Amino acid sequence: MTPSSAQAAQSNAPVVALHSSGSCSGQWRSLQADLEGRFDVFAFDLPGYGRAPLISDAAQKGAARSALPVIKEIEKIGCAVHLVGHSNGAGIAIKVALMRPDLVKSLALYEPAAFHFLETGNGTEKRLFGQIKALAAQITAAATADDASAGMRRFLDFWNGAGFWDRLPLRAQEKFIGKIDAVIADFANGFAESWALQSLSALRMPALVMTGLESPELTQHVAVAIAKALPHARIALLPELGHMAPVFQPEWVNSRIFEHVASVERPATSCSWPGQVAA
C-alpha cells in the first residue's frame, strides 16, 4: 500500500531552509512548493531580514549570532531536521551543525559564505580572501558615506555580474538599500568566525555541497574545500549555474536538494545489477 503524500511528509524529517544575504525566507517558496506533500519545509528570516530584527547577542561571537535564533526555532519543531542553506545561510547552517549536531539530520549547502579560513591558507586562498574582504570594506565605506545605493550596487554586481543593479526596477533597488546594515553585519559575523576546516570532521551527518560552475572562483573554491572537509559529503558541480541559482534557477537546485533529503530518509541498503547474459 502506497502512503499518501500527507503521510510521507509526516514520516520524513522536516526541512529548514536558510536564505542568503540580502534576501529573506521568501526565497524558498519554490522549494516549499516542490517538496509539498513529501517534506514539511520551514523557512525563517535571519536577523535583519523580513520580519526579524537586526539584534545582536553580545555573548555570541561570529556566525553564532545568527545561528542561535535558528537553533531555537529548530528546538520548537522538536526533532532533528534536514538543514538547507544558501550562501550566508549555508555558512550559518554549518555553524548550527557545529553547535548542535543533534538537531541536524543532514546538510544541503549551496556555496557557503564561510570565508574566514581562507585568511590563513595558501597563496590562492589569501588572494581570494583579499577579494571578499575588499568587497565588504567597500560596502561598509559606502554606508558610512551615506551612499547605501553604491554599496548595494557593488554587493549585487559582485554576485550577479556587472550591470545587475542597473537592470533592477527602482522599487527593488530601494528594498535592497534598506538591507545594507544586515549585509554588513553578515560580513562582520562571518569574518569573526574561528572554526577550522578540520573542525568539520566532527560532523558525521550526510551532506550535499553544491556549487555553480558560473559562480565566482571564490565561492567554488570554498564549496570544494568544505565538501572535502566534511566526512560524509557529496559535491555537485552544476554547469551553467551561478551563485544566485537557488533564487533564479531554483528548479535545478531544488531537485538536488530533494534527491539528497529523500536518499537520507530512504537510503538504498542494497543494489543488485542484472548479470550479463552471453548472446
Q: Binning pLDDT at 50, 70 and 90, where does residue 274 land?
A: low
In sequence order, what DSSP letters do the residues of 129-157 get, joined into one string?
Answer: HHHHHHHHHHHHHHHHTT-HHHHHHHHHH
Over residues 58-75, the mean pLDDT reads 91
- The pTM assigned to this predicted structure is 0.92
8 Å CB contact between 86 and 184: no
Q: Per residue in 138-177, pLDDT tens?
A: 999 999 999 999 999 999 999 999 999 999 999 999 999 9
C-alpha 42/C-alpha 35 separation (Å) is: 11
Asked if pLDDT for residue 2 goes beyond 50, the answer is no
Q: Per residue in 10-63, pLDDT tens?
A: 689 999 999 999 999 999 999 999 999 999 999 999 999 998 888 767 678 899
**For position 3, what pLDDT does the model report?**
38
C-alpha 184/C-alpha 48 separation (Å) is: 10
8 Å CB contact between 48 and 274: no
**For position 276, what pLDDT does the model report?**
56
**For position 11, what pLDDT does the model report?**
87
Three-state SS at 279: coil
Q: How confident is the prediction for the chain on average, in pLDDT?
A: 93
**For position 42, what pLDDT does the model report?**
98
Q: Please give the angle made by the CA atoms of 127, 130 and 135, to the nearest 5 degrees.
A: 135
Q: Binning pLDDT at 50, 70 and 90, where does residue 9 land?
A: low
Three-state SS at 159: helix
Percent of the chain exceeding pLDDT 70 equals: 91
Q: Please give the angle made by the CA atoms of 109, 111 and 116, to the nearest 5 degrees.
A: 105
Q: Per residue in 221-256, pLDDT tens?
A: 999 999 999 999 999 999 999 999 999 999 999 999
